[in-house]
Structure 1
Amino acid sequence: MAAFEQFEIQPYQSCYAREVSELFHLCVHSINHARYSSAQLAAWSAAPRSAKHWDLRLSRSKAWVVLAKGALATSAMCIGFINIETHFSQQGYLDSLYIHPDYQRKGLGECAYLVVEDWAKAQGYSRLSLDASYLSKGLFNQMGFTQVQASYQQKRGQIIRGFYMIKEI
């Protein structure tokens, strides 16, 4: 487990959009898993998207950033983000959870998810849903999600398989 006093989870602000963009691209291209080809990873994220893209995407939902602080960084550094849809037909859909590869498997993804779940309960949501990747499916199983069906995303001519999961809260 990480020393959590060195990390902070706070609501997303536009000033983190550039870091989120770079972090997303880094996370995707750090994947080393037999189920993902280099063509699929390139389709998933060909290059970092604009800060404007990420700001619009995260501002349309409820989002948080995970920051490294203190001795780990000279200033608060964005090492993760998570967001949940609030205004679309899939209200309660967990859209993104990404943690910097150097900080994965330290409990930060779980902590970020628990912030979202607490917020969702306070809003009166009764269910959360998501499309998990091969890499994140285990985490979401541990957090109480169950697989409903296989899911597929098509990106730039590539099919990326996932798992549609739900959790009653």
Structure 2
Amino acid sequence: MKLRRYEIADTEAIMQLFYDTVHEVNIRDYTKAQVDAWASVNMDVEVWMSSLKSKLTYVAEEDGKVIGFGELEANGHIDRFYCHKDFQGRGVGSKILAEIEFKARNLRIQKLFVEASITAKPFFARRDFIVMKKQEVERRGQKFINFVMEKILSYDL
């Protein structure tokens, strides 16, 4: 597995990974209507490209195939963070998160935070993220439960 920064050529593979993961992994915690609203078939490539470029986006790949990605914003927010449906539980997310934490420390970011899905909550909890609050959000007319989680980064003096 290789980890690297996002390149524009990754966009469509990332979009497909996102769609497939939401529809085939997150479906165990959300309804069909919810996952359809979360990951629509009508995603805009230009919007995704712009969004992915605007953040520190890390891509995991194996044999040239995108198998995960995660985004870090300058304020410590981890935005989209997804692992390919066929690579769940194989260390992909751990490797991406380790790189995000490393970069955040280099940038002297004090705290990482994420709005974790029901599905992703255990992953982040195992990595010392604390639930700050449970919340209900709305996307395309569907309501979703997720969890605001944070992790304070420590620095060796």
TM-score, structure 1 normalization: 0.87
Among candidates 11, 19, 22, match of residue 17 of structure 1: 11
Q: Quick check: 1:77 aligned with 2:71?
A: no
Q: 2:94 aligns with which of 104, 110, 114?
A: 110
Work out the number of aligned pairs and report it: 152
Separation in structure 2 between the aligned mates of residue 93 and residue 110 of structure 1, nearest angstrom: 17
Identity of matched residues, % = 26
- What is the alpha-carbon root mean square deviation over aligned residues? 1.0
- Consecutive unaligned residues of structure 1, counting only runs of 5 or more, are 1-6, 70-75
How do 1:1-169 and structure 2 match up within 5 A? 7-31=1-25, 32-33=27-28, 35-47=29-41, 49-69=43-63, 76-86=64-74, 91-169=75-153
Q: Contact 1:21 / 1:50 at 8 angstroms: preserved in 2?
A: no
| Deviation (angstroms), 1:13 | 0.8
Question: In the TM superposition, what whole-angstrom CA distance separates every residue of 1:77-119 from its partner, at most 9, and x where no partner exists?
Answer: 1111100112xxxx11000111111001111101110000000
- Preserved contact between residue 67 and residue 92 of structure 2 (Cα < 8 Å): no
Quick one: distance in 1 between partners of 2:93 and 2:51?
20
TM-score for the superposition, normalised by structure 2: 0.93
